[in-house]
Each structure stands twice: as C-alpha cells, then as structure tokens.
C-alpha cells in the first residue's frame, strides 16, 4: 500500500504511556529532519538513518511522584515505514499504512521522586506515529 513520504520538519506524535511513565513533550517539538537528496516542495525527504537524529525533550509523570524530565528517541521504525527499493541516498521513510507505529524510547535525565526516593533511571519503551505534512508524493 502506498503511503506519504516524510519530509524535513514533519511531526511525530508519541503515545503518552511509556511503561509506568506518562511522557509529555512540549507542543511542536517532535519533528524529524530530512537529509535525503530528493526534495518535495523544497523540503528534503527523510531517509533511513534520519530517525536516529530525533531527540525530543519531555517531562514525565508518575502518580504520587514529583515530575521528572527526559528525552524521547526513536528506537526503531516499523518495517512498513521504510521503502528499501525507493531511495534518495538511502531508503525513503514513509508514514506507512494508517495507524502504523514506530518504537520509541524514553530515557530519564532528571528523575521523578516520591518522599526523596528517585524513580528508576531505566529507559522505558513506547510507541509513536509519523505525521506527514504532504500527501501527494507516495511510495510503497
């Protein structure tokens, strides 16, 4: 199934639940930057490897704890979001079929605490969606 190609500046949406943590990035901060050779409407397409550069600061909440802070990264794209045969220096990234999720990782940098006892520093896994800004160029 064909799906829209991701371009520089497209947004990401993270499902807030990362294990026992509710993770909240500031509005408008979750974006992917494209580095492919090809452009769509003057923006570089996103290619495999660009997802490794996504680092989104966020706060996190655990009931009863003071809020903490950390960073969200993309752990791995779904295989249906990577078009191996459609390249622009590397395979192109697409949204994938509707409701396709990628794997994300939240790593605390300032731990939430309860009665002076900190949360575990262990990263927690979550999911997210790619949100393309353009719909007319598709691959798949």
Check if the beta carbon of residue 124 is closer than 8 Å to that of residue 70.
no
Mean pLDDT of 5-19: 97
pTM given for the model: 0.94
Q: pLDDT for 77-118, tens place per residue?
A: 999 999 999 999 899 999 999 889 999 999 999 999 999 999
Rounded distance between C-alpha atoms, residue 5 and residue 135, angstroms: 8
Q: pLDDT for 37-75, tens place per residue?
A: 999 999 999 999 999 999 999 999 999 999 999 999 999
Mean pLDDT of 29-34: 96
**Is the pLDDT score of 76 beyond 80?**
yes
Say what the pLDDT of residue 98 is.
Answer: 85
> What's the DSSP call for residue 139?
E
Rounded distance between C-alpha atoms, residue 21 and residue 112, angstroms: 10
Say what the pLDDT of residue 140 is.
Answer: 82
- Among residues 54, 55, 37, 45, the alpha carbon closest in space to that of 82 is found at 45
Residue with tokens 């064909």: 2
């Amino acid at each position: 199934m064909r799906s829209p190609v991701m371009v520089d500046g497209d947004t990401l949406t993270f499902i807030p639940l990362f294990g026992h943590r509710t993770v909240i990035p500031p509005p408008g901060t979750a974006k992917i930057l494209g580095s492919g050779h090809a452009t769509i409407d003057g923006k570089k397409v996103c290619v495999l490897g660009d997802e490794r550069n996504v680092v989104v600061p966020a706060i996190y909440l655990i009931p009863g704890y003071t809020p903490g802070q950390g960073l969200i990264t993309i752990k791995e794209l779904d295989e249906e979001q990577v078009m191996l045969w459609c390249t622009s220096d590397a395979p192109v990234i697409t949204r994938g079929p509707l409701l396709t999720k990628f794997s994300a990782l939240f790593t605390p940098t300032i731990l939430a605490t309860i009665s002076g006892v900190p949360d575990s520093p262990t990263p927690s896994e979550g999911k997210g969606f790619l949100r393309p800004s353009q719909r007319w160029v598709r691959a798949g």
